[in-house]
Structure 1
Amino acid sequence: MQPHGAAGPLVAALDIGGTKIAGALVDAEGRLLVRALRPTPPRADGGTVMAAVAEVLAELRAAPGWPGAVAVGIGSAGPVDATHGTVSPVNVPGWRDFPLVPRVREAVGGLPVVLAGDGVAMTAAEHWQGAARGYDNALCMVVSTGVGGGLVLGGHLLPGPTGNAGHIGHISVDLDGDPCPCGSRGCVERIASGPNIARRALDAGWRPPAGTEPTAAAVAASARGGDAVATASFDRAAQALAAGIAATATLVEINVAVIGGGVSAAGPLLFDPLRRHLTQYATLSFAAGVEVVPAKLGTDAGLVGAAAVAAQGLGLFPLGV
């Protein structure tokens, strides 16, 4: 039995990150019909984190529409390994090579399960229902605590063999830059993520207003107030993003770059210098002219995208793009 007004078969979607585990039943038009949410247990062992996932799935299975669910799509913080069905999220230390796909498949009675990285899921969502809809070649990015991404090429999502393709956050754009936790140097994420925007501003002498946490949002507020150090930190982040986008455009020829995640809420403070820097890096005729636009789906992108990844991977229903 499907919920009233549901279109086509349903996909159970999971969006798994370092702070929350979200679930939903998603229909063929991308509507979230039933939702469930649990916090990700901090610093917990793998079994405890999986128990929270199981609670989300149990809540979805208790919904009247569950019999209409034909598959499960998972978008998880990474790295993920879709080939082996395992995940090792940097921000979920209890999971290292954790066999998430078989555990989820067991919890849902054997339904097919499709896994992808959260950047790939966000890309699938924005291509299906958001800012990349109608574009055959796109890069979509999440700029938040980390920097992730995904690619649409030739009209199709390109997850890659392990589900991590398009992970632009770990392209090096400063060859002698700061060491990145991934083991490389000068990665886009090390420069453009929210915590690193705040870190760089603090190192340069910026201080948040009294009673305010030193976050990228606080740096943005100071920049809007005319603080030169705060403005410079955002400009540097925008430059790193522009260099990564230009490298991607040069390699695979994209038409649009969609930027989502918490840092994108800075609006013109991020997008204006990003577009300006992009003209300096994307100089070849086929790479120049990439549109840079904000994402549309916000916090629902992970769930919509997880469903889209499963729909495409299993041929469940047309994604309408």
Structure 2
Amino acid sequence: MDVIVAIDIGGTKIAAGLVTTDGTVIDRTRCRVNAAQSEDGLFADLTGLVSEMLVRARGQHGTHPIAVGIGTAGPGEPNAERVSPLNIPCWRDFPLAPRLRDFTGLPVFGDGDAKALALGEGWKGAARGHDNFIAMVVSTGVGGGIVLNGKLLDGEGGNAGHVGHVIVEPGGRRCACGGRGCLEAEASGPAIEAITGRPPTQPTYETIQRTGRL
């Protein structure tokens, strides 16, 4: 059974899992992001999760991963060679993919988390069978992934769909990027909670059933 170590890096958590080549998640773990720690400290947390998945792959699933896949908050360079997630201040121009290649000895493939979401939704999710769509992430940040004519749109720098910093409220709330009134500052999960005084709506029963988590 061939499996991939799949990694999701966001502003508040890092999740890692083992995913078969047919898209089945067979194991997972996570940790919280401490935005105040050093870049090497956060990378150590990440590699701790990766090590856990490598051990579980061998010990519990009788296999060894063939590659590592990353979906990360952005912006970043193509293939996550260097990333600067706005909600993770300790990583600026951080060589994510090269360091994971050195750590694991495996091929590493990376992209923005919303672009990875778009690929996943087109392959196994709500956009299956559609050639033109936008997938949106609304979490600690806001992002998008665009598929046109069945192909993921990368853009010149690899950040196409990074819509969280389009200004929707001129002079509005301060954003992590330094601007004001960005979509992310006005409509991310933390922004919704700050504006309304309550957390964003909990996932539906159907979503919990589909993902297996709250």
TM-score normalised to the size of structure 2?
0.83
Distance 1:140 1:171 in 2: 16
Q: Give the C-alpha shift of residue 13 in structure 1.
A: 0.9
1:24 aligns to what?
17
Say which SS state the counterpart of residue 80 (structure 1) adopts. Answer: coil
1:191 aligns to what?
186
Identify, as 1 or 2, the structure richer in helix. Answer: 1
Deviation per CA, 1:173-224, whole angstroms, max 9, x where unpaired? 33454453324443222222233234334xxxxxxxxxxxx3343xx6xxxx
1:282 aligns to what?
none
Instruction: Identify which of 118, 130, 136 aligns with 1:135.
Output: 130
Distance 2:98 2:18 in 1: 20
- Name the % identity: 44
Q: What amino acid maps onto 1:77 in structure 2?
A: A
Preserved CA contact (<8 Å) 1:195 1:215: no
Preserved CA contact (<8 Å) 1:83 1:162: no
Q: What amino acid maps onto 2:146 in structure 1?
A: L
Specify whether residues 60 and 198 from structure 1 end up closer, same or farther in structure 2 by C-alpha distance, changes over 3 A only: closer
Q: Give the C-alpha shift of residue 171 in structure 1.
A: 1.7
1:70 aligns to what?
66
Q: Which runs of 5+ in 2 are unaligned?
A: none
Say which SS state the counterpart of residue 38 (structure 1) adopts. Answer: strand
Say which SS state the counterpart of residue 18 (structure 2) adopts. Answer: strand
2:93 aligns to what?
97
Specify whether residues 35 and 67 from structure 1 end up closer, same or farther in structure 2 by C-alpha distance, changes over 3 A only: same
Distance 1:34 1:83 in 2: 24
Matched ranges for 1:17-166 at <5 A: 17-62=10-55, 63-64=57-58, 65=61, 67-82=63-78, 85-109=81-105, 111-166=106-161
Matched ranges for 1:162-241 at <5 A: 162-201=157-196, 214-217=197-200
Distance 2:79 2:120 in 1: 22
Distance 1:41 1:299 in 2: 25
Specify whether residues 18 and 145 from structure 1 end up closer, same or farther in structure 2 by C-alpha distance, changes over 3 A only: closer
Q: Give the C-alpha shift of residue 299 in structure 1.
A: 8.2
Instruction: Say whether 1:12 aligns with 2:5.
Output: yes
1:206 aligns to what?
none
Preserved CA contact (<8 Å) 2:9 2:73: yes
Specify whether residues 92 and 180 from structure 1 end up closer, same or farther in structure 2 by C-alpha distance, changes over 3 A only: closer
Q: Give the C-alpha shift of residue 89 in structure 1.
A: 1.7
TM-score normalised to the size of structure 1?
0.57
Q: Give the C-alpha shift of residue 67 in structure 1.
A: 4.8
Distance 1:299 1:94 in 2: 31
Greater relative CO (CA pairs within 8 A, separation 6+) = 1
